Amino acid sequence: MPTPDPLKNYRVYIAMFLLNLAVVIGVIYLLRRENPRPVAVTLPPRATKTATTRITVGVSGAVKRPGSYQLDDQARLSDVLQQAGGVNSNADLSQMNLTRPLANGEQIVIPTIAPVANHSAPPSAITPVATQLGKLNLNTATFDELDALPGIGPTLAQRILDYRKQVGGFKSVAEIKQVRGIGDTLYEELKEMIFVQ
């Protein structure tokens, strides 16, 4: 006669207990498992802006405060005009790029709007005025009178007026060579037609 198994009635409970125990042990194992270390991403340090280089720019012509100004090397034409107090009401900016960068030592001349010629006037009205043996006084000559000189034209006439305003008048006839575009050859043609008073 076989011996009765005393655990026969408890096998189901024992199996369920062992199963629950395995689940608990598995959960504890997963919770205690070391989490992977996060990867540290190191960004390069932000480049610090180097000290700005200063440049010196001269401005003259149709501005309120002609002179030399120091600006940083990223400055534009509009920046130096602002430093110079802005432009005069007769300034001609139509051919100027206000956003262009500036260069150290640059000299900027802001031109004025050329006066409109009076087409109804007789041709003699725009010829040089004979104030001294047929010569033209550089310190009183008008745009039209300068424009009528041989080899001058409207661009150089305006530069002469701008230079005269900048320096407060010509001190000698030879000083006209300081105007950009007038060299020795042109001066030789003009010197007998002009005088300074």
Compute the average pLDDT of residues 173-178.
92
For residue 123, the model assigns a pLDDT of: 46
Reported as a single tens digit per residue, the pLDDT across 82-118 is 999 988 888 888 888 888 998 898 888 888 887 655 5
Q: In terms of CATH architecture, what is 123-195?
A: Orthogonal Bundle (1.10)
Instruction: Give yes or no for residue 4 having a pLDDT over 80.
Output: no
For residue 165, the model assigns a pLDDT of: 92
Instruction: Give yes or no for residue 120 having a pLDDT over 60.
Output: no
Domain boundaries, the chain: 54-110, 123-195
Reported as a single tens digit per residue, the pLDDT across 130-172 is 344 568 899 998 998 888 888 888 999 999 999 999 999 999 9
Reported as a single tens digit per residue, the pLDDT across 14-69 is 878 888 888 888 878 777 765 556 666 666 666 555 567 899 988 888 888 888 89
Q: How far apart are CA 127 and CA 148, in angstroms?
A: 6
> φ and ψ at 156, to 5 degrees?
-70, -35
Between 122 and 166, the higher pLDDT residue:
166
Between 95 and 177, the higher pLDDT residue:
177
For residue 125, the model assigns a pLDDT of: 42
User: Of 94, 27, 84, whose CA–CA distance to 57 is shortest?
Assistant: 84
For residue 22, the model assigns a pLDDT of: 85
Contact status, residue 113 vs residue 87, Cβ threshold 8 Å: no
For residue 160, the model assigns a pLDDT of: 92
